[in-house]
Structure 1
């Protein structure tokens, strides 16, 4: 099957979004001719995805910087809106650095000499509730280091403020109690100021920060000769006459050719926060102008950069050697035994016994990845190796509401095809279609997704694909888009409950 989305139009231009998936709160850095991007990963594991591009248009996923979330007990179960919020990626003193805010624990930092690792263990730079969106700055002009962060009102009771600190050059401790350097309550019309990115340019401290809310906000820029202010502000990117709602929160990068670009997200409901690339220039007064006069561009000439093949982060997976690709994450910290090692191809999942077998939202052992485009088709081949009544496995669209199609062992252990769903307010799933026979415990599963994240399920149990149930409208979680998922589970009990084998996962546009 084909790649669902590519941004490179093949004629020297690109279309937005350059990353048409939920790479929320992106930040970017250049080292030499290479650009690297990270994004929020919330409660999924591994966290802090790492993407690479030479031209800012064609991106590949090269790994993750965070292999587990701490404290471990907090992330033993799914916590979809917690964990890693709005990281900042920087390169300083020959090392890569990532700072992020965990809204329940504080500001964390990791670093590595090589982008592919090994990365250091997380270090808590500032403990506290509601500390989010942290960004460091090492000032090459003075040798000083700084940190700025925002606040989550849900944990701290504070919002619309940016706090600044002086920081030790090793990035491990803050050297003062912190000062509110921007109070957006004093700026008429500004609200929900967050997501700051801190830079030094043209003699000024610059803070690029979004305001106005995820769905309808804008991108602001602040500048001051002194780190502690006072700062003057300007709106530098807004929806304007375009259909790109709430264009904001991202990072500025200067290419090796000296061009300035800005990567930011657009919130698109069940699809999550997709990433756009905007040209950027500086006006006569020294302020950044992003996009086309401050409005997002749909199509534009590519950055001047070394040639790069047309690429996008991988979606499909043949599970070579029984291993899943980098595009997959677990919905909580994984435990030994969830996957079964074997010598051939195909992914084998254990039917994990759990009291939450009828609510995928509560299962930690769901292997997930982002929706790869606005419209696409995904297929997966499944064999259920279990005669444990109630053991099941399938292909899911997972969010605040969910729907899945797959195989389940009936009361007599005979496998059957089932299709189930649950609304956002429902505690348990229910049948979306009547169960039907699945000879040999085999099925080919398919989901066709059309505009509006409308999902049509079907399956082939040996007599061709047949539609199943009604169209399902995918739903996001809080801050997180809907996800594609693979799982295997069984009712609570003791002893092994069998396995499920996914021999291929294919996608197309």
Structure 2
């Protein structure tokens, strides 16, 4: 039988949530400080996914200015009811609006509404459940006391007025004694019983999935004797898949159950540069509860494909030549742009970035577009035309974990290319070299955690810039936070005003496995 490979969404796609409408499945994931927010992926077979847009793609919907690294959008949930799609989410540590909100749309690829902020809904990781009696319920998690004691609460939700009504019910405080971060609650009704699925143990190595059931929606909920029903923390840090948790369930039109969940793929030791990715796992029901990955009880790298007609989408090209009228939806910005600093029209066939004072070393919105690293071993390169007008003006490639941990490969004044690694907020110059006039090609390649930079003038041969260096500083266990590495095209005057621009003729990304 044909098989599929995990993860089904590689690269930084954490906190997945899924819903089905007829033969179509729709999935959203967290995006934290990146704009546009909450990508929507569509699938007909649960294996092949295509990006069809973002839930929050207008600046008015998503005020991310000044949000810290790994602040912003946490843990969305997508649901469909009576012809309407609902996404609920939390904006964490916003400098303007903050907290829980709901948005709606009749077409998931179309325009979503402005957020309806719910100040009465405290906590994070919200979810919606539409019962078969016509009532809807909101669940979320809130901190009871540090360092991670939380509780899951429930309250009725009015889908017409988009507000919470009725009394509040605390329904869960964790499966294990002294459990930390019981979170990500999702409710379902299976064979007449209510099933509460949550995560527990934090979002790293100790992550897990737990389940509880009840006869009524408000409880009491009783934890399964099998809890945790899925975890990899007992497999050790050398296991190729780790940090399993934050699951959401979906039933196909053929009656098969699956879970989407997050996990990591450490490499070069317990280091994961790709962040938390979306995996797919089969589920069966026994004694009223879900059994994840029956037969092995762990997330496997390969499974038999679902009993659905295969529906692959066209494979995106490895090279973006910037020939279209708008940016490919895979590109994102760091926080919400307050002005349009990019153009595909000023010089057709090129992405033009304005050189502005904002720097990637600060929690701002620099002139930069990014997309996630998706393979442990990869090639990323660009073709750049740039004539700096001042001593601080630079443009080129960035491997971004956050403002304090990243790598910059940039062309600057006097036609000099510099390779800088930033660790814990301190820059380290790794190499520099002069290049000739005209177009410059810049490249970063990684084979696991061994990373090297290359540079070429015009159509000349690639030349190694400096020595290969260790990429572990870009991993989440070193740099902290909740995101994976993003690869960016960048231009800046590093704090000074400028009227210059940088033209990128193309960008190429491909895996090297």
Shared fold by TM > 0.5? yes
The answer on 1:402 being equivalent to 2:402 is: no
- The answer for unaligned runs of 5 or more in structure 1 is 1-10
Cα pair distance change 1:164/1:78, threshold 3 Å: closer
**Could you tell me whether the CA contact under 8 Å between 1:79 and 1:332 is conserved in 2?**
no
- Equivalent-residue separation in structure 2 for 1:318 and 1:111 (angstroms): 34
The answer on 1:481 being equivalent to 2:471 is: no
Counterpart of 1:179? 169
Cα pair distance change 1:159/1:101, threshold 3 Å: farther
TM-score by length of 2: 0.88
Counterparts of 1:133-282 in structure 2, within 5 Å, are: 133-140=125-132, 142-152=133-143, 159-170=149-160, 172-176=162-166, 178-184=168-174, 187-188=176-177, 190-215=179-204, 216-234=206-224, 235-239=228-232, 241=235, 243-268=240-265, 269-282=272-285
- Equivalent-residue separation in structure 1 for 2:325 and 2:408 (angstroms): 23
Measure how far apart 1:277 and its partner are: 0.8
Give the match's secondary structure for 2:324: helix
Counterparts of 1:18-37 in structure 2, within 5 Å, are: 18-37=8-27
Measure how far apart 1:279 and its partner are: 0.7
Counterpart of 2:510? 508
**CA RMSD, aligned part only?**
2.4
Measure how far apart 1:405 and its partner are: 1.0
Alignment deviations for residues 73-128 of structure 1 (CA, whole Å, 9 cap, x no partner) = x6223532222110000011101110012234221000100011211000012346
Alignment deviations for residues 148-185 of structure 1 (CA, whole Å, 9 cap, x no partner) = 0012579x87733101111113261111352211022x
TM-score by length of 1: 0.88
Cα pair distance change 1:439/1:492, threshold 3 Å: same
Counterparts of 1:276-315 in structure 2, within 5 Å, are: 276-283=279-286, 285-293=287-295, 294-309=297-312
**Could you tell me whether the CA contact under 8 Å between 1:361 and 1:398 is conserved in 2?**
no
Identify which range, 315-324 or 97-106, moves more after superposition.
315-324
Give the match's secondary structure for 2:13: coil
**Could you tell me whether the CA contact under 8 Å between 1:148 and 1:196 is conserved in 2?**
yes
Counterpart of 1:112? 105
Measure how far apart 1:297 and its partner are: 2.1
Counterpart of 2:87? 98
**Could you tell me whether the CA contact under 8 Å between 2:141 and 2:185 is conserved in 1?**
yes
* Among 436, 439, 445, the residue aligned to 1:438: 436
Alignment deviations for residues 157-215 of structure 1 (CA, whole Å, 9 cap, x no partner) = 7733101111113261111352211022x742633211111212211221111111212
Counterpart of 2:269? none
More strand by share: 2
